[in-house]
Chains A and B, each alone.
Chain A
């Protein structure tokens, strides 16, 4: 994992807070994300990690705080001050979002090739032959056979759907990808294949990733840095192997000691 050429952060998050009525979703979260860096957000259900991910990806407006993103032209922009058109363009081109449930990130009634090609058309590609060959290339990169290009994802297994969702997200060469439990609900062997694939793609493309997971093994394999959340607060953060091998907070020690050794 060779990364970190740039000295400018891609994403700057300051005091992001989200309330649901008077209940806290996440509270006062601040961090910087650099190009090529993979940040894992871990914690148990209800800890606020998905709320935070949704705030970061402009799917849920924070109650307070600021999130700034470095646009392709180098300028830093407050995500919640973008126009709707700018925000949509960002989500369609410069960002990806990989959902736990692939059906949420795919169009289930159109072909695999169209699922990948659609994002290309959104950025202005019009040449059918070119779109199809790029789609075919990406299906290959996520290990889906060429002869499945015209099948729709309803006929795909869970692991294949997840790989298709990844291809759909990466085809526009995004700089930042959000992932919400991308390996959740898959068989262990399918998980291992997906993790290996993600690890390679992230390294090859130099992607920045914010990944939410409750699986510390996934965090260890994929991420450079980790944030541990509990009750909406970030209670510990740092280098992934340092936090997992030398956890400081009582809750982190509990999480780490709860892993089953195989």
Chain B
């Protein structure tokens, strides 16, 4: 199987200048790879650095040490040292991120929020909106909400809008940051099916999933993040 993502000796700490320069180690010597069509779940207690690892892969957090290598067509890009515009290009076409929290934009409707990543990849507006509507329907977002901006939606509705936005486009690598947290059983099942469809399309996924049932259904491999704990090594 083709390797899509490879983390090599990745390390990260935070220096909190407002707290007297305290250095908070997060992870070190993180090493794993993810193949096409595989879903790897990061395990370990809260605070072990799972989210930080996902955010480094997405270029949202800086990577202090090591390499984060991503396969793009025939090319290999190191996210850890990529220029901002290269990271943005990766986010348009290569790496998707499904998080729990929607950052709402004033006056943009739910269906437009969802369609945007697909349109950014070159789909027509009508195709984008149609796909968006079918995903919103699958995730049981009431149709009367589709043309409204999600700022006033309930937490659960916003979360489902964000999941639809995360799954709509075609990314060879998809990062799942607790997409099923606080969803009801029916919607959890929809997310599980969406993940399985992505797997069949050969998408490589890295996820954080606290829900035991969902994890068992979609994880091909579980990586214990505590083994990369900077405290242990120090």
Contacts and interface: CB of A to CB of B under 8 A. Distances in A.
A199 interface: yes
B61 A2 contact: no
B147 interface: no
Contacts of A238: 62, 84
B53 to A, nearest CB: 13
A239 B88 contact: yes
A34 B85 contact: yes
A193 B108 CA distance: 10
B137 interface: no
B105 interface: yes
Interface residues of B, number: 24
B92 A2 contact: yes
A257 interface: yes
The number of chain A residues touching the other chain, given as a range, is: 20 to 34
B140 interface: no
Contacts of A199: 105
A242 interface: yes
Nearest to B88: A224
A4 B17 contact: no
Interface stretch (A105-113, A156-164, A165-173, A245-253): A245-253
Contacts of A224: 84-85, 88
Contact of B88 (A3, A248, A250): A3
A241 interface: yes
B130 to A, nearest CB: 19
Contact of A242 (B60, B85, B92): B60
A132 B108 CA distance: 30
Given A1-B120, A192-B106, A193-B107, A253 B16 contact: yes
A37 interface: yes
Contact of B61 (A1, A37, A221, A242): A242
Given A245-B61, A246-B60, A253-B18, A196 B108 contact: yes
A259 interface: no
A115 B92 CA distance: 37
A239 B18 contact: no
Interface string A217-242: 00001001100000000000011011
A2 B169 CA distance: 13
A169 to B, nearest CB: 21
B55 interface: yes
A248 B15 contact: yes
A34 B85 CA distance: 9
B33 to A, nearest CB: 24
Nearest to B116: A1
Given A2-B120, A34-B85, A253 B60 contact: no
Interface string B75-109: 00000000011011100100000000000011110
B85 A248 contact: no
A180 B107 CA distance: 23
A81 to B, nearest CB: 28
Interface string B50-83: 0000010001111000000000000000000000
A26 B126 CA distance: 47
Given A2-B121, A196-B105, A253 B17 contact: yes
B52 to A, nearest CB: 9
A37 B62 contact: no
A246 B12 CA distance: 11
A239 B89 CA distance: 12
Nearest to A240: B84
The 4 nearest A-B residue pairs measured at CB: A250-B17, A192-B106, A2-B120, A239-B84
Given A253-B17, A254-B17, 9 more contacts: A192-B106, A193-B106, A224-B88, A238-B62, A239-B84, A245-B55, A246-B55, A246-B61, A248-B15
Interface of B: 14-18, 55, 59-62, 84-85, 87-89, 92, 105-108, 119-122
Interface of A: 1-4, 34, 37, 192-193, 195-196, 199, 221, 224-225, 238-239, 241-242, 245-246, 248-250, 253-254, 257
12 contacts: A1-B88, A2-B92, A2-B119, A3-B88, A4-B88, A196-B105, A196-B107, A196-B108, A224-B85, A238-B84, A245-B55, A246-B61
